[in-house]
Structure 1
């Protein structure tokens, strides 16, 4: 474990022994999640000639990946990253390759594609939660861990930007199935390099879980409820915002390039916010900071509906983005601190699951509202969801007085206030 630093920095994070090697390997594997879905959607669309079939296939791929994420994370906690992630990654890569082969032929069976996509999504290795677990093992100083999580969060944002760009380059010279195969190669190579790191080898498996909150697949409870509720509200608000930006541009007869610029401003704001979050030595406990960040995000989403034009909307989106990464990073920190022994990877996976579930709900709900209500009211409704989640989180944080159970070497069940 690294020694505490008086002025921890991002450079200090990467100077921790084995951190750079482990982090880069995890990013290589996680890049697959930025490339494979888009390439698969394009491949299925070409093979079947149906957007409806492609939509159903991708829905099955995403749904099984999200719903079973806590169970896959439970395997990582129980057996350790090396024993659990290696077969998952190889099976996931093999199934991606099978999907690529099936979708090469025009008129491919929709049933075969859908069933294979569902099984593929169910096997996706939880590299993000696993990497955050390793950060917790590598970094002893909580301020340095905050910077590590911020660096991780910003890098993940960039992966979801560069992944589709990489797919665009690939399909410019080859077919979308090559992009799917690229995703298989990335996840297998990245995972094998990740589990080969000495830092990953140092993460000890928890063994068979006992009854209680660490049981595989059990719903979050106690201190884990606060970050899960906030992140679900965050996902719902942001997914709704994406669709509302499309409706905003369409109402002004503007093209997809306008939407791309507004969403790029949101992503850029999130990256800046994540870096700033890691650079600040917070004195407010994370459990009290989380609802404040969520409330600020909700207010900026609601205010975006007052934008008179796309330029102002892009500015509002950038301001909203400033609170996206900090909210997620703070939620991950709380989940890591609150996780009982043997539950750390699952705690992070539940935060991921909450965000993805909220995103799915937000997209569907916004699609219904935008056809029935004025656009400004829809923006306000999207912001209100984040505000409501912030209120629930604030009440939970107040009851606990900002205290979060954390693990210590002497007594894993002791509690103390950590000022991050």
Structure 2
């Protein structure tokens, strides 16, 4: 396994490009929590902080395909630099507004954070597109995507930990500054890489754009459905773990261990997925992976205690990173070269939107239902998403089928920048 991943990093310019992208993407794990803490401290209102974060997350997630379209149309260098510049400037303005406790106007806070979210640079989706040009061998692409997914999982775990260190000695607004600096450094290193400079812009004609949009939406039905199901499961699971622990008299530290087990399982599953030379095509694997997640959540509903729940969540995690990675692989296979970033951004949006919807649904379910039944309902919905993704295989007109030599696809997974597992 180590040799396989080492081979990915030995591709010319791969390490330089990947490390730069990871530096910038670490901002995604730092900025959201820093903004929430800083806004809460400055406004003195959890309600204001909640609205502000909803605006930031909403514009970041749901405008991800639009930002990806700019990357496809104009190329990474021409689109990412002004996008990152606007994002960093808006984060700087937000830092000034919330640096000291006071009563900043909620309208000002909402406008600045919404604008910052709208400008979030899609380094994740662009990096996955670059992987498709760097790793021409299909086995290497699969390993590159898996490595990318596991690294991303670690970023979203380590980002909040770094915020915790910062707020131990400084105002939380300093975390926003740290995130802005990371984005500036990461973007600069990324766009200066020869691998990124060689990515050509797409066709900018209006007619071609319309055809490209229809082609993307037509070809990615399966991965979008499956990704939304996985995102919803993750959004529900986070809140259900909290409710499960509190219902049995455990503290917040116990919740952290259970969620860490989920992340650890996801990391192990992602590494294993990239190391295996699959004989089953990606289009067949995707619904099976989503179904595995659903069955694990059904089992979590039967957990008698926190230890059993942690073990079952680790099992559930084994399917998370492989399912998301496979969804990106299929989307990239279906996309024309000039719509690669966009196709991956749609999958990323599905994951994040599913997570947001899952958190909202969990809040409604936890009251009237026991956590066991909530896990069972979540598992059943995930199984329905897996079934829908399997049925969608016969309706994705125009999407090329995977060749039978391993199931990976010759292109690049994409992702957005929202405060979620897929950035």
Normalised by the length of structure 1, the TM-score is 0.93
Quick check: 1:92 aligned with 2:87? yes
Instruction: Tell me if the contact between 1:74 and 1:217 (Cα under 8 Å) persists in the aligned partners.
Output: no
Specify the alignment match of 1:375 in structure 2.
371
- Aligned residue for 1:373, secondary structure, equals coil
Separation (CA, whole Å) in 1 of partners of 2:336 and 2:386 = 24
Among 49, 52, 56, the residue aligned to 1:57: 52
Distance 1:214 1:168, change over 3 A: farther
Quick check: 1:139 aligned with 2:135? yes
Structure 1: tracts of 5 or more residues without a match: 1-6, 407-414
Cα displacement (A) at 1:387: 0.5
Quick check: 1:44 aligned with 2:45? no
- Aligned residue for 1:405, secondary structure, equals coil
Instruction: Tell me if the contact between 1:74 and 1:216 (Cα under 8 Å) persists in the aligned partners.
Output: no
Indicate the RMSD between aligned Cα atoms, in angstroms: 1.9
Specify the alignment match of 2:406 in structure 1.
419
- Aligned residue for 2:66, secondary structure, equals helix
Specify the alignment match of 2:24 in structure 1.
29
Cα displacement (A) at 1:8: 7.1
Quick check: 1:331 aligned with 2:327? yes
- Aligned residue for 1:9, secondary structure, equals helix
Listed as ranges, the matches of 1:181-200 within 5 Å are 181-200=177-196
Listed as ranges, the matches of 1:272-351 within 5 Å are 272-351=268-347
Specify the alignment match of 2:11 in structure 1.
16
Quick check: 1:364 aligned with 2:360? yes
Higher relative contact order, structure no. (Cα contacts within 8 Å, ≥ 6 residues apart)? 2
- Aligned residue for 1:204, secondary structure, equals coil
- Aligned residue for 2:220, secondary structure, equals helix
Instruction: Tell me if the contact between 2:5 and 2:144 (Cα under 8 Å) persists in the aligned partners.
Output: yes
Cα displacement (A) at 1:341: 2.9
Question: CA-to-partner distance for each residue in 1:281-312, whole Å, 9 max, x for gaps?
Answer: 00000000000000000000111010000000
Structure 2: tracts of 5 or more residues without a match: 408-423
Separation (CA, whole Å) in 2 of partners of 1:43 and 1:32 = 16
Cα displacement (A) at 1:222: 2.8
**What number of residue pairs does the alignment pair up?**
405
Among 168, 173, 181, the residue aligned to 1:172: 168
Among 224, 229, 240, the residue aligned to 1:228: 224
Cα displacement (A) at 1:62: 0.3
Choose 251-260 or 273-282, whichever is displaced more.
Answer: 251-260
Distance 1:399 1:53, change over 3 A: closer
Separation (CA, whole Å) in 2 of partners of 1:313 and 1:212 = 50
Question: CA-to-partner distance for each residue in 1:80-111, whole Å, 9 max, x for gaps?
Answer: 00000001011101101110100013212111
Instruction: Tell me if the contact between 1:243 and 1:366 (Cα under 8 Å) persists in the aligned partners.
Output: yes
Quick check: 1:243 aligned with 2:239? yes
Among 63, 67, 70, the residue aligned to 1:75: 70
- Aligned residue for 1:343, secondary structure, equals helix
Separation (CA, whole Å) in 1 of partners of 2:383 and 2:205 = 36
Instruction: Tell me if the contact between 2:212 and 2:336 (Cα under 8 Å) persists in the aligned partners.
Output: no
Separation (CA, whole Å) in 2 of partners of 1:45 and 1:89 = 25
Specify the alignment match of 1:155 in structure 2.
151
Instruction: Tell me if the contact between 2:60 and 2:120 (Cα under 8 Å) persists in the aligned partners.
Output: yes
Cα displacement (A) at 1:417: 5.0
Question: CA-to-partner distance for each residue in 1:248-296, whole Å, 9 max, x for gaps?
Answer: 1111111111111100000000000000001100000000000000000
Instruction: Tell me if the contact between 2:216 and 2:335 (Cα under 8 Å) persists in the aligned partners.
Output: no
Cα displacement (A) at 1:207: 2.5
Separation (CA, whole Å) in 2 of partners of 1:212 and 1:241 = 41
Question: CA-to-partner distance for each residue in 1:337-356, whole Å, 9 max, x for gaps?
Answer: 11023100001100110011
Choose 71-80 or 169-178, whichever is displaced more.
Answer: 169-178
Cα displacement (A) at 1:220: 4.9
- Aligned residue for 1:17, secondary structure, equals coil
- Aligned residue for 1:31, secondary structure, equals helix
Specify the alignment match of 1:112 in structure 2.
108
Question: CA-to-partner distance for each residue in 1:31-54, whole Å, 9 max, x for gaps?
Answer: 000001111111001000111100
Separation (CA, whole Å) in 1 of partners of 2:400 and 2:202 = 19
